[in-house]
A and B are shown apart, each in its own frame.
Chain A
Amino acid sequence: MSFREKIHWIAFVSIMGTFGWYFWTLPAAADAGPQGLWASAGLLLVPVLGITAVTTIGTIIFALRNPKEANAQEDERDRSFQIRGTHLAYYPMVVGSWLCIGLIFGGVSQPMLLRIILGMVVAAELIRIGSQIYFYRRGY
């Protein structure tokens, strides 16, 4: 497995784990009265710090184990995977954006809107990174 593929796996698993926890915990915090929205926003620190810590430590470990590959610049195949992954991630962003626009006019609560927007961003990131892992596994 290449260095870049390992890094993508770390990002994918850390996002799944931390945001999985976040969305599991969020309803109780968001519905806990008028301060719920701020509590939900504050809880975001956990996944943000968690992802940063896990990806940083993981990258350092894998870079130390294979410094040559870690220092190599990404090539045209890496870039093509990135472009295709970003292209696929565009769709949940568009669908989620239109959904949010509709829900704003439907009078949805702010905490619920926050959950949907975050869910949309996390889904897009997982598709972007997950599709790149798939392309690396497939080889082309």
Chain B
Amino acid sequence: MAQTPFLNDIKTLRFLAGEMTQGDLGDAVGVTRQTIAAIEQGKYSPSLEVAFRIAHVFGKPLEEVFRWQQA
């Protein structure tokens, strides 16, 4: 299975944000629950806009949500 070349902390951030569901985050960002699940699992690379929107929901800078994974 192909993985994106970066890691993310969305699952942890959702938990810290009052156990927010994938569906709630999807609604806040404007994508489906399945897309949030795919991003969390590192299967799908979101657009820069969606990445920023996710970070904005958690009130974090982008680099605290997504981290480049050195090969």
Residue among B34, B41, B43, B46 making CB contact with A76, cutoff 8 Å: B46
Q: Which of B4-41 contact A (CB under 8 A)?
A: 30-32, 34-35, 37-38, 41
| Interface pair A76/B38, CB less than 8 Å apart | no
Q: B29 → chain A, closest Cβ, in Å?
A: 9
The SS class assigned to the A binding surface is helix
Which range contains the number of A residues in contact with the other chain?
Answer: 10 to 19
| Interface pair B43/A2, CB less than 8 Å apart | no
Residue of A69, A77, A138, A139 with most chain B CB atoms under a 10 A cut-off = A77
A2-27 interface code vs B (CB 8 A; 1 in, 0 out): 10000000000000000000000000
A52-85 interface code vs B (CB 8 A; 1 in, 0 out): 0000000000000000010010011110000000
